[in-house]
């Protein structure tokens, strides 16, 4: 899927960098009315939610209150942070925990969350079938039996400046190592695990085995990545896109498929292209999970129902602009038209089959080995 020039939007749609979204300030919420676990007892309408601070914000708590739930939100910054807190606190402390779906099997194997029939949640039919039926997704145990209720999703992509580099189909991550690209003209977005995963895809390791890389495979991926040195790392989506637009960078790995459309609108001509390569791409689906043995499972299911409602889904899209797993919400945005619809089309959100080609970001089987490989080969 590619992104073209497109029409300039009527207003500026929110363009929140995913890592900025995930790492938004938890400190503010930790001292607010929705943070902390100070209460000794629970009210009948209470649900305790462990999630990124963006997902336990006062605006969310207000929408839950209108639906009859008192949300006690515990903010966290990363998947690892949430996993560690849940493992330490257990079912007695939380009812819901959010995650990126690549982490869901880790929670499930540790006995921290339960698999449930998505049809227990009113409004389940609004979810695109692919996100609740495709068992290649790491959170789908069997059709409609899941460990995570799918919420938002997105895909990273291969992006390049078409004035500097000519690429033809089938597009491949090997473009990052194209001999025509001068040293220092490759730009990436993310962190070491993302870079090693892309390198692994480029040398032909299947998506389902990427995070299991170890030994010779991991060493080969690290050594190939080191061949790109020195490569640029985009500090933000805007700096990344400026680098591609101006030719400071020729080719790279973008944090979403809409990057080239935004670049082209600024340039007022097509100067970039962004695709999911033949090897697939990194991506994510996030959502709430049911804590195993939660004190109030009924309220937890009610929370998921309200989360999937028009009120919350509209707030999430208007605030963060990520594609939604909710088909009804997506179609409402497309019908409205304007820049909201343009953003969805730029990201390919009208065709969620793109998600079948994603390697969902998650923890490596051996995190210490990945850290050593990156530090010894790439970071040296």
Residue 92 has a pLDDT of 81
Residue 8 has a pLDDT of 32
DSSP string, 295-324: TTHHHHHHHHHHHTSHHHHHHHHHHH---B
Q: Where are the alpha helices (DSSP H) in 41-120?
A: 58-66, 79-89, 104-109
Residue 91 has a pLDDT of 72
- For the chain (length 380 residues), average pLDDT per consecutive 10? 34 56 48 42 88 96 98 95 92 93 97 97 98 97 98 97 98 98 96 96 96 97 96 94 98 96 97 97 98 95 98 97 97 96 95 94 96 88
Q: Are 129 and 144 in contact (CB under 8 A)?
A: no
Residue 132 has a pLDDT of 98
Q: Are 255 and 18 in contact (CB under 8 A)?
A: yes
Residue 13 has a pLDDT of 52
Domains recognised in the chain with CATH numbers = 18-153+284-355 (3.40.190.10), 154-282+362-378 (3.40.190.10)
Burial 26-50 (b: 16+ CB within 10 A, else e): beebeebebbeeeeeeeeeebbbbb
Centre a 10 Å sphere on the Cβ of residue 272 and count the other Cβ atoms it contains: 25
What does pTM read for this prediction? 0.89
Q: What are φ and ψ of residue 353, in 5° steps?
A: -60, -20
Q: Would you say the C-alpha torsion 368, 373, 375, 378 has a positive or negative sign?
A: negative
């Amino acid at each position: 899927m590619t992104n073209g020039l497109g029409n300039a939007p009527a207003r500026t749609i929110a363009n929140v960098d995913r890592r900025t979204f995930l790492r938004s300030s938890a400190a503010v919420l930790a001292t607010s009315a929705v943070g902390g676990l100070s209460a000794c007892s629970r009210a009948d309408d209470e649900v305790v939610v462990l999630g990124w601070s963006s997902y336990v914000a006062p605006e969310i708590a207000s929408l839950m209150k209108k639906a009859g739930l008192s949300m006690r939100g515990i903010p966290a910054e990363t998947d690892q942070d949430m996993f560690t807190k849940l493992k330490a606190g257990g079912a007695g402390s939380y009812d819901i925990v959010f995650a990126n779906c690549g982490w869901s099997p880790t929670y499930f194997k540790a006995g921290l969350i339960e698999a449930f029939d998505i049809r227990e949640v009113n409004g389940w039919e609004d979810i695109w079938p692919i996100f609740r039926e495709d068992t290649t997704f790491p959170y789908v145990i069997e059709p409609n039996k899941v460990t995570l209720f799918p919420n938002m999703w997105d895909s990273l992509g291969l992006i390049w400046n078409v004035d500097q580099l000519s690429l033809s189909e089938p597009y491949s991550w090997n473009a990052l190592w194209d001999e025509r690209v001068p040293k220092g003209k490759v730009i990436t977005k993310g962190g070491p695990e993302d870079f090693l995963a892309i390198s692994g895809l480029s040398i032909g390791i299947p998506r389902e085995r990427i995070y299991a890389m170890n030994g010779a495979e991991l060493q080969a991926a690290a050594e190939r990545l080191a061949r790109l040195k020195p490569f640029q790392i985009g500090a933000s989506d805007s700096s990344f896109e400026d680098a591609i637009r101006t030719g400071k960078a020729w080719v790279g790995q973008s944090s979403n498929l809409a990057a080239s459309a935004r670049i082209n609108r600024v340039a007022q001509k097509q100067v970039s292209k962004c695709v999911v390569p033949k090897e697939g791409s990194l991506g994510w689906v996030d959502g709430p999970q049911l804590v195993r043995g939660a004190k109030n499972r009924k309220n937890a299911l009610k929370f998921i129902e309200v989360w999937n409602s028009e009120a919350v889904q509209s707030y999430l899209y208007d605030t963060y602009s990520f594609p939604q797993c909710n088909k009804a919400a997506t179609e409402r945005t497309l019908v409205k038209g304007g820049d909201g619809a343009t953003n969805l089309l730029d990201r390919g959100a009208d065709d969620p089959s793109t998600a079948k080609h994603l390697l969902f970001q998650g923890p490596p089987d051996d995190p210490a080995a990945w850290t050593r490989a990156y530090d010894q080969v790439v970071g040296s």
